[in-house]
C-alpha cells in the first residue's frame, strides 16, 4: 500500500471557509431557545434574595392557583427522588459541600434556586414565581475568603471547617534556602476581582420524554454532551442508553457551559415526571447570579532573584473566593490549584512553594472559565518580573529572555513538575519584540513621558498546557482525566464521508478543522466531507470541548481512524480495479493508480460495496466505518509573548490600549483564520478582565452587577487592533497540533497589567488590584484617596 | 387597560395580523408568535444589541420595543436579508467570508447595524465602524474580523 498522496494543496494550513457557519449567518441557526416541541411546558425559578439564610417556610398556594400553572415544586418535594450534587472528591479537599437542586433548609447565595414553576408559557411561570412567599431567617454571610477562613467566621456549610473547600501546600526544591541566599527578593500583592464568562447566550435546556427513540432526550446548551449523559443517568437513576443528549448551536461556552448545574437536571426530572417536554432558558439576570463565576483571587507572591535577574525561587500564598458550592464535576479546586501550580508559566523556576485555599463564601460558585487560574498567576508573576527589572536596571524584555525556558533545555521539568517540550517561548518573545519595534516603542514612551503623558509598555510571556492526555488530570486533585476522545469516520454509500464526534463547537469551527484533516488524510474533497459533533446518538464516546483540547483530540482521532479507513478503501479499490494496492492512492474523492491511468470514484466503490456486494470477498468488505480513540498521553505546551502599549488619561484614569502585538506558538495550524479569531477573541476577554469586568458584591453578599448595564464587557471601541504573528513549532501530538482556545487571555491580562503599572510607576504610582478601572488607577496614582 | 391588542405588521415582506398581549416584546413576538428565531435575545436590557431588527428602515432593539408599538410597521429580520432567489445579502457574505462570526449569537444584530451604517455612511473609517458597532456586543471574536467584514462589505456595496 502506498502512502503517497496526490493532494495538490493541503487543506490543513488553509483558511477553509467554514460551511458550518452558513446557517448562523443566514439566520437559520438553531439555538436552544429556538426549539419548540408540541405540548411543551416552560419552567421558571424562584431564586434566593438572601446570600445566607434559613428557609423558615415556603407558601406556594397562590402560585399553584394561577391559571396556566401546571406544577410548583420545592426542594423538599424532590428530596430522596434525585441525587443532589456532592463535591467531586479531590485530594486537596477541605470539606464536602452538598448542593440540592432546589435549596433545602438553607440558601447559600443570592440567586440559588428555591422553587421551580412549570407553566404553559414562560410569562405565566414568571408570574407564578412572583406569587410564592418565602419566609427567611437571614444568617451572617461570608463574603471574603480571608475573613471566611478565620476560626470564628460563620460557616457556609456546617461540615466545612474554616470554610476550606480546597487547601493545598506544595513545595519542590529548596525555596527557603533560595530566598535566604537571594540577591534580591520581590514581594507583591495581586488582587483580581470576580468576573464571568458572559456567554451572549445563557444556559438552557429542553428535556423531552419519549421524543424519538430515547426515553429522555435533552437539548442542552453545553460543552460536554456525553458527560451530561453520564451524570444525568446517575442522578436520575436511569441507564445511560435511555438518554440522548444534543448540544444545539451554542452561543458561547468559555468553560461556563462545561459544568453541571441544578436547573437543567431538574428540568430532566420534570420531563420524566410530567411526561411532557419542558423548557428552561436562562435570562440575563439568572446568568449573572446562577451560572458559574471565575477568578476572584488574592495572591501574595514572592520571587528570589540572583544579581543577573534569574529566578531562584517562587513562592505564593493564594486565597480564592470559590463561592457557595464546589462546582459540580470540576470541584472547587480549579482556580485555587491552577493559580498556584501553574504560576511558573514559561519561566525556569528551580524551586517553588505555594499555599492555596479555596474558601467557601455566600456567593455564586466559581467554576471553569477560559484559562482557569493562569491569567491571575501569570499577571502576578509578570508584575514581579517588572519590579525586579526596575530594581536591577535590566530591561524587562531582557530579564524575561534570561528566564524563559529555551528550546535547547527541553524537555525541561519545571519546579511545578510539568515538562516543557517543543515550544518556542524564546522565539515568540523575539518575534513580538521585533514586530513591535520594541526599542523604538521604548523611545517613544520616553518622549511621551517627557511631554507629561502617561505611556506604559507591558510584556507577558505565557505557557498553556493544551490537549491533555490521560497522564495529566484536567481538574487538579480530582479523578477526572478526560484524556481520550473518539471519532467515527463513515464513508456513506454515496461516497461522501461523515465525521462523527462528541466535540461540540461554540464557534471554534471544530467540524471544519476535522474536515480539513480528513481531507488531507484520505484524499476526499472537502465538499464531500460532512461532520457532526453535537449528538450522543450519532457520535462515539467523547468528553467534549474544554481545556483547549478539542482540535487536538478530534484531529488526532481523525488521523488514526483515517489510517484504517484508507487501508480498507484501497484494499477494495485494488480488488475492483484489478491492480496491486501499492499502485493506488486516493485523491479528489477517487481511488487512482499512481500513473492515473485507472480510477474509481469513492461513490462507485461505496455503492458497489453495499448494494452489489456479490463477488466481493468478505475480508475486503468489512464496512467503511471506523471508530478510533485517541489519547495523546501527555499535554502539549503552547505559548506566546504579548507586548502592549497603553496610554493613561491623567485626568480620568482611563486606560486605552494603543498597540497590541502578539506572537504565539500554537503548533501546526489547521485553519489560520479560525485560529486568529480564537486568539484575538481571547485577547478581547483579557482586555475585559484586566480593565473592565467586575462582578461586585456588597458586604451582605448582595450582587450589584446583575445586568449588562452594570457589568461591562469590551465593545468594538475598547479592543485594539491586534497585530498577530506566529512562531509555531509542532507538538508531539498527532498532526503536530496544539490547543489555542485559551492561551491568549493569559498573555493579555499579564501584558496589560504590566503596561498599566509601568505607566503608573513613572509617576510614583502602583496598582495591586484589578481590573484597572479608572477609579483604581487614580487611587494608585494618589490623585484620589 | 386591555390585556391584548390587535396589530398589523409586515415582516420580511409578509403581512401579519395578530392579537398579542400588550406586555409582549417585539422580540418575543417575532420569535415565539411568528417563529422567526433568527433574532436573538442576549440581555433584554437593550445593551447587547443581539436582538436588533430593522423597524421602518432604522435599527431597533426588539427587546425594548413592545409588539404593540410596532403596529403598522415594516420589519426586517435576519431571515429577510436574503434576496428572493436565496442569495445572501452582501453583508452576510462579507461576514461569512471574513470569519466574522464564531458562535453566531450576536450576528443577527451585527448584520442589521452594519446595514444601517452602510446606508448612512457608505465609506466608513475604521473608527466610524467601531463606533457604529459599539452597541452590539460580541464575546467571541474581539471584533477584528467583524471590522474587516464591514470594510469588505462597504467596498462591495459601492461597486
Question: For residues A263 and A114, is the Cβ–Cβ distance under 8 A?
Answer: no
pLDDT at A481: 81
Q: Which of B28, B35, B102 to mutate to test the interface with A (most CBs of A within 10 A)?
A: B102
Is B51 within 8 Å of chain A by CB?
no
CB atoms within 10 A of CB B19: 9
Question: For residues A368 and A333, is the Cβ–Cβ distance under 8 A?
Answer: no
Q: Determine, for residues B139 and A198 on separate chains, whether the beta-carbon distance falls below 8 Å.
A: yes
What is the pairing mode between strands A412-413 and A311-323?
unpaired
pLDDT at A352: 98
Q: Determine, for residues B144 and A721 on separate chains, whether the beta-carbon distance falls below 8 Å.
A: yes
Distance from the B72 Cα atom to the nearest Cα atom in chain A, whole angstroms: 24
Q: At what angle do helices A374-392 and A396-403 cross, to 10 degrees?
A: 120
Is B125 within 8 Å of chain A by CB?
no
- The most distant pair of C-alpha atoms in chain B lies apart, rounded to whole Å, by 52
Nearest to A126 by CA among A338, A289, A283: A283
Q: What are the backbone angles phi and psi of residue A229, rounded to the nearest 5°?
A: -60, -45
Alpha helices in A595-692 (DSSP H): 602-611, 672-691
Is B133 within 8 Å of chain A by CB?
yes
Question: For residues A334 and A372, is the Cβ–Cβ distance under 8 A?
Answer: yes
Report the alpha-carbon distance of residue A611 to residue A590 in Å, rounded.
19
Q: Determine, for residues A25 and B131 on separate chains, whether the beta-carbon distance falls below 8 Å.
A: no
Q: Which helix (H) or strand (E) holds A454?
A: strand A454-466
Instruction: State whether CATH 3.30.365.10 applies to domain A293-471+633-780.
Output: yes
Is B157 within 8 Å of chain A by CB?
no
Please name the residue that has the C-alpha cell 464571568: A196
Report the alpha-carbon distance of residue A721 to residue A657 in Å, rounded.
9
Domain with CATH 3.90.1170.50 in chain A: 48-139
Q: Determine, for residues A684 and B102 on separate chains, whether the beta-carbon distance falls below 8 Å.
A: no
- Which residues does chain B have with pLDDT short of 50? none
Question: Which of B78, B137, B142 is facing A200, going by the closest CB pair?
Answer: B137
Report the alpha-carbon distance of residue A75 to residue A114 in Å, rounded.
7
Question: Which of B99, B108, B130 is facing A677, going by the closest CB pair?
Answer: B99
Question: For residues A508 and A514, is the Cβ–Cβ distance under 8 A?
Answer: no
Is residue A646 classed as helix, strand or coil in its secondary structure?
strand
Spell out the CATH class of A203-281.
alpha beta
Closest residue of B to A28, CA-based?
B38
Q: Determine, for residues A28 and B38 on separate chains, whether the beta-carbon distance falls below 8 Å.
A: yes
Closest residue of B to A283, CA-based?
B43
Nearest to A16 by CA among B149, B153, B106, B96: B96
B-facing residues of A in 163-202 (CB < 8 A) are 197-201
Report the alpha-carbon distance of residue B50 to residue B105 in Å, rounded.
7
Distance from the A464 Cα atom to the nearest Cα atom in chain B, whole angstroms: 19
pLDDT at A472: 81
The CATH classification of domain A48-139, taken from the options 3.40.50.2300, 3.40.640.10, 3.90.1170.50, 1.10.3720.10: 3.90.1170.50
pLDDT at A7: 45
Q: Determine, for residues B133 and A715 on separate chains, whether the beta-carbon distance falls below 8 Å.
A: yes
Residue A622 has which C-alpha cell? 468489512
Question: Both ends of chain B: CA-CA distance in Å?
Answer: 52
B-facing residues of A in 488-507 (CB < 8 A) are 506-507
Q: Determine, for residues A251 and B104 on separate chains, whether the beta-carbon distance falls below 8 Å.
A: yes
Alpha helices in A303-395 (DSSP H): 334-341, 374-392
Please name the residue that has the C-alpha cell 445572501: B88
Is A25 within 8 Å of chain B by CB?
yes
Report the alpha-carbon distance of residue A183 to residue A307 in Å, rounded.
5
Reported as a single tens digit per residue, the pLDDT across A281-316 is: 999 999 999 999 999 999 999 999 999 999 999 999
pLDDT at A473: 75
Rg (CA), chain B: 16
pLDDT mean for each 10 residues of chain A (785 residues): 51 96 97 98 98 98 98 97 91 93 98 98 97 98 98 97 97 98 98 98 97 95 96 96 98 97 98 98 98 98 98 98 95 94 98 98 97 97 98 98 98 96 97 98 97 97 94 77 93 97 96 98 97 95 93 96 98 98 97 96 97 96 97 94 97 97 97 97 98 98 97 97 97 96 96 98 97 98 90
Question: For residues B144 and B101, is the Cβ–Cβ distance under 8 A?
Answer: no
Cα dihedral across residues A389, A393, A399, A402: positive or negative: negative
The vertex-A100 CA angle with A99 and A105, nearest 5°, equals: 105
Number of A/B CB contacts below 8 angstroms equals 167
Closest residue of A to B145, CA-based?
A677
Q: Which of B21, B61, B82, B103 to mutate to test the interface with A (most CBs of A within 10 A)?
A: B103
Alpha helices in A305-344 (DSSP H): 334-341
Q: What are the backbone angles phi and psi of residue A633, rounded to the nearest 5°?
A: 65, -70
Residue A531 has which C-alpha cell? 461532520
CB atoms within 10 A of CB A213: 8
B-facing residues of A in 242-301 (CB < 8 A) are 249-252, 254, 283-284
Q: Which chain B residues are within 8 Å of A201, Cβ to Cβ?
A: 40, 42, 103, 105
Question: For residues A340 and A379, is the Cβ–Cβ distance under 8 A?
Answer: no
Closest residue of A to B23, CA-based?
A123
Q: Determine, for residues B99 and A717 on separate chains, whether the beta-carbon distance falls below 8 Å.
A: no
Q: Which chain A residues are within 8 Å of B142, Cβ to Cβ?
A: 677, 680-684, 719, 722
CB atoms within 10 A of CB B80: 18
Q: Determine, for residues A684 and B142 on separate chains, whether the beta-carbon distance falls below 8 Å.
A: yes
Q: What are the backbone angles phi and psi of residue A208, rounded to the nearest 5°?
A: -130, 135
Closest residue of A to B97, CA-based?
A17
What is the pairing mode between strands A599-601 and B74-76?
unpaired
Is A38 within 8 Å of chain B by CB?
no
Closest residue of A to B105, CA-based?
A251
- The Cα-based distances of A667 to A15, A374, A460, A674 in angstroms read 16, 20, 19, 14
Exposed, middle or buried, A492 (CB in 10 Å: 0-12/13-18/19+)? middle
Is B38 within 8 Å of chain A by CB?
yes
Is B128 within 8 Å of chain A by CB?
no
Is A440 within 8 Å of chain B by CB?
no
The vertex-A88 CA angle with A86 and A90, nearest 5°, equals: 135
Distance from the B103 Cα atom to the nearest Cα atom in chain A, whole angstroms: 4
A-facing residues of B in 56-95 (CB < 8 A) are 77-79, 81-82, 88, 92, 95
Nearest to B63 by CA among B155, B136, B147, B7: B136
Average pLDDT of chain A, as a whole number: 96
Q: Determine, for residues B102 and A676 on separate chains, whether the beta-carbon distance falls below 8 Å.
A: no
Closest residue of B to A284, CA-based?
B43
Is B117 within 8 Å of chain A by CB?
no
Question: For residues A229 and A537, is the Cβ–Cβ distance under 8 A?
Answer: no
- Domains by residue range for chain B, with CATH: 4-80 (3.10.20.30), 90-158 (1.10.150.120)
Is residue A535 classed as helix, strand or coil in its secondary structure?
strand
Domain with CATH 3.30.365.10 in chain A: 19-23+484-630, 203-281, 293-471+633-780
Question: For residues A432 and A642, is the Cβ–Cβ distance under 8 A?
Answer: yes
Is A1 within 8 Å of chain B by CB?
no
Q: Which of A15, A27, A692 to mutate to test the interface with B (most CBs of B within 10 A)?
A: A27
Reported as a single tens digit per residue, the pLDDT across A81-140 is: 999 999 988 889 999 999 999 999 999 999 999 999 999 999 999 999 999 999 999 999
Alpha helices in B7-143 (DSSP H): 26-28, 90-97, 107-120, 126-133
Give the fold, CATH level 3, of A19-23+484-630: Aldehyde Oxidoreductase; domain 4 (3.30.365)
Report the alpha-carbon distance of residue A214 to residue A217 in Å, rounded.
6
Amino acid at each position: 500500500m502506498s502512502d503517497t498522496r496526490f493532494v495538490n494543496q493541503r487543506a490543513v494550513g488553509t483558511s477553509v471557509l467554514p460551511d458550518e457557519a452558513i446557517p448562523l449567518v443566514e439566520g437559520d441557526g438553531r439555538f436552544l431557545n429556538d426549539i419548540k416541541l408540541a405540548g411543551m411546558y416552560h419552567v421558571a425559578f424562584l431564586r434566593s434574595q438572601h446570600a445566607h439564610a434559613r428557609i423558615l417556610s415556603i407558601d406556594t398556594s397562590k402560585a399553584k392557583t394561577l391559571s396556566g400553572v401546571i406544577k410548583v415544586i420545592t426542594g423538599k418535594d424532590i428530596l430522596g427522588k434525585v441525587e443532589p450534587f456532592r463535591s467531586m472528591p479531590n485530594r486537596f479537599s477541605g470539606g464536602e459541600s452538598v448542593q440540592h437542586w432546589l435549596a433545602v433548609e438553607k440558601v447559600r447565595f443570592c440567586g440559588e434556586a428555591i422553587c421551580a414553576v412549570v407553566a404553559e408559557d414562560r410569562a405565566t411561570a414568571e408570574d407564578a414565581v412572583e406569587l410564592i412567599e418565602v419566609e427567611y431567617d437571614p444568617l451572617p454571610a461570608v463574603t471574603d475568603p480571608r475573613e471566611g477562613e478565620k476560626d470564628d467566621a460563620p460557616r457556609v456549610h456546617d461540615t466545612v471547617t474554616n470554610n476550606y473547600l480546597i487547601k493545598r501546600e506544595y513545595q519542590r526544591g529548596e525555596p527557603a534556602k533560595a530566598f535566604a541566599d537571594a540577591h534580591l527578593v520581590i514581594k507583591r500583592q495581586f488582587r483580581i476581582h470576580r468576573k464571568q464568562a458572559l456567554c451572549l447566550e445563557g444556559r438552557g435546556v429542553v428535556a423531552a420524554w419519549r421524543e424519538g427513540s430515547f426515553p429522555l432526550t435533552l437539548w442542552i446548551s453545553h460543552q460536554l454532551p456525553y458527560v451530561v449523559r453520564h451524570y444525568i443517568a446517575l442522578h436520575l437513576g436511569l441507564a445511560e442508553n435511555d438518554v440522548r443528549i444534543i448540544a444545539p448551536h451554542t452561543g458561547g461556552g468559555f468553560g461556563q457551559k462545561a459544568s453541571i448545574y441544578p436547573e437543567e437536571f431538574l428540568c430532566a426530572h420534570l420531563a420524566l415526571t410530567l411526561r411532557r417536554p419542558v423548557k428552561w432558558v436562562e435570562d440575563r439576570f439568572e446568568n449573572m447570579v446562577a451560572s458559574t463565576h471565575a477568578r476572584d483571587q488574592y495572591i501574595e507572591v514572592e520571587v528570589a532573584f540572583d544579581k543577573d535577574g534569574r529566578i531562584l525561587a517562587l513562592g505564593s500564598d493564594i486565597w480564592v473566593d470559590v463561592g457557595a458550592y464546589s462546582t459540580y464535576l470540576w470541584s472547587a479546586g480549579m482556580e485555587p490549584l491552577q493559580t498556584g501550580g501553574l504560576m511558573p508559566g514559561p519561566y525556569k523556576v528551580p524551586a517553588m512553594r505555594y499555599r492555596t485555599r479555596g474558601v467557601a463564601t455566600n456567593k455564586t460558585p466559581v467554576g471553569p472559565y477560559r484559562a482557569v487560574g493562569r491569567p491571575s498567576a501569570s499577571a502576578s508573576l509578570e508584575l514581579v518580573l517588572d519590579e525586579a527589572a526596575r530594581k536591577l536596571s535590566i530591561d524587562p524584555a531582557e530579564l524575561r529572555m534570561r528566564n524563559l525556558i529555551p528550546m535547547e533545555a527541553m524537555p525541561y521539568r519545571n519546579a511545578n513538575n510539568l515538562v516543557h517540550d517543543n515550544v518556542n517561548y524564546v522565539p515568540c518573545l523575539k518575534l513580538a519584540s521585533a514586530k513591535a519595534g520594541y526599542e523604538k516603542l521604548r523611545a517613544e514612551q520616553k518622549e511621551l513621558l517627557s511631554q507629561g503623558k502617561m505611556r506604559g509598555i507591558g510584556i507577558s510571556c505565557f505557557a498553556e498546557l493544551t490537549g491533555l492526555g490521560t497522564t495529566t488530570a484536567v481538574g487538579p486533585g480530582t479523578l477526572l482525566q478526560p484524556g481520550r476522545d473518539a471519532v467515527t469516520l463513515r464513508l456513506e454509500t454515496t461516497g461522501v464521508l461523515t465525521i462523527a464526534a462528541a466535540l461540540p463547537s461554540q464557534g471554534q469551527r471544530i467540524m471544519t478543522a476535522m474536515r480539513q484533516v480528513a481531507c488531507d488524510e484520505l484524499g476526499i474533497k472537502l465538499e464531500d466531507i460532512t461532520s457532526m459533533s453535537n449528538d450522543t446518538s450519532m457520535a462515539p464516546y467523547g468528553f467534549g470541548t474544554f481545556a483547549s483540547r478539542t482540535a487536538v483530540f478530534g484531529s488526532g482521532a481523525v488521523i488514526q481512524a483515517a489510517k484504517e479507513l484508507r487501508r480498507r478503501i484501497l484494499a477494495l479499490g485494488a480488488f475492483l480495479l484489478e491492480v496491486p494496492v501499492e499502485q493506488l492512492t486516493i485523491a479528489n474523492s477517487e481511488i487512482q493508480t499512481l500513473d492515473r491511468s485507472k480510477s474509481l470514484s469513492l461513490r462507485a466503490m461505496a455503492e458497489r460495496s453495499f448494494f452489489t456486494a456479490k463477488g466481493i470477498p468478505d475480508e475486503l468488505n468489512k464496512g467503511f466505518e471506523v471508530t478510533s480513540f485517541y489519547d495523546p498521553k501527555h499535554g502539549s505546551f503552547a505559548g506566546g509573548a504579548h507586548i502592549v502599549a497603553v496610554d493613561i488619561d491623567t485626568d480620568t484614569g482611563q486606560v486605552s490600549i494603543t498597540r497590541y502585538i502578539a506572537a504565539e506558538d500554537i503548533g501546526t495550524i489547521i485553519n489560520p483564520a479560525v485560529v486568529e479569531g480564537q486568539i484575538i477573541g481571547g485577547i478581547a476577554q483579557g482586555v475585559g478582565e484586566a480593565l473592565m469586568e467586575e462582578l461586585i458584591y456588597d458586604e451582605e453578599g448582595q450582587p450589584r452587577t446583575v445586568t449588562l448595564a452594570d457589568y461591562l464587557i469590551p465593545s468594538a471601541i475598547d479592543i485594539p487592533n491586534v497585530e498577530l504573528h506566529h512562531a509555531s513549532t509542532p507538538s508531539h501530538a498527532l498532526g503536530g497540533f496544539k490547543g489555542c482556545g485559551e492561551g491568549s487571555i493569559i498573555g493579555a491580562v499579564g501584558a496589560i497589567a504590566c503596561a498599566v503599572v509601568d505607566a503608573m510607576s513613572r509617576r510614583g504610582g502602583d496598582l495591586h488590584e484589578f481590573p484597572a478601572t479608572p477609579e483604581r488607577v487614580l487611587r494608585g496614582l494618589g490623585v484620589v484617596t | 387597560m386591555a390585556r391584548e391588542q390587535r396589530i398589523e405588521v409586515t415582516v420580511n415582506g409578509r403581512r401579519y395580523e395578530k392579537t398579542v398581549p400588550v406586555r409582549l416584546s417585539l422580540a418575543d413576538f417575532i420569535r415565539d408568535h411568528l417563529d422567526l428565531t433568527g433574532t436573538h435575545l442576549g440581555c433584554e436590557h437593550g445593551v447587547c444589541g443581539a436582538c436588533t431588527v430593522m423597524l421602518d428602515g432604522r435599527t431597533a432593539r426588539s427587546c425594548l420595543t413592545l409588539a404593540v408599538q410596532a403596529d403598522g410597521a415594516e420589519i426586517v429580520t435576519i431571515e429577510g436579508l436574503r434576496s428572493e432567489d436565496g442569495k445572501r445579502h452582501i453583508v452576510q457574505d462579507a461576514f461569512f467570508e471574513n470569519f466574522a462570526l464564531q458562535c453566531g449569537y450576536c450576528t443577527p444584530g451585527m448584520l442589521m447595524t452594519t446595514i444601517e451604517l452602510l446606508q448612512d455612511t457608505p465609506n466608513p473609517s475604521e473608527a466610524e465602524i467601531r463606533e457604529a458597532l459599539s452597541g452590539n456586543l460580541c464575546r467571541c471574536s474581539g471584533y477584528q474580523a467583524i471590522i474587516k467584514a464591514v470594510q469588505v462589505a462597504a467596498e462591495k456595496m459601492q461597486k
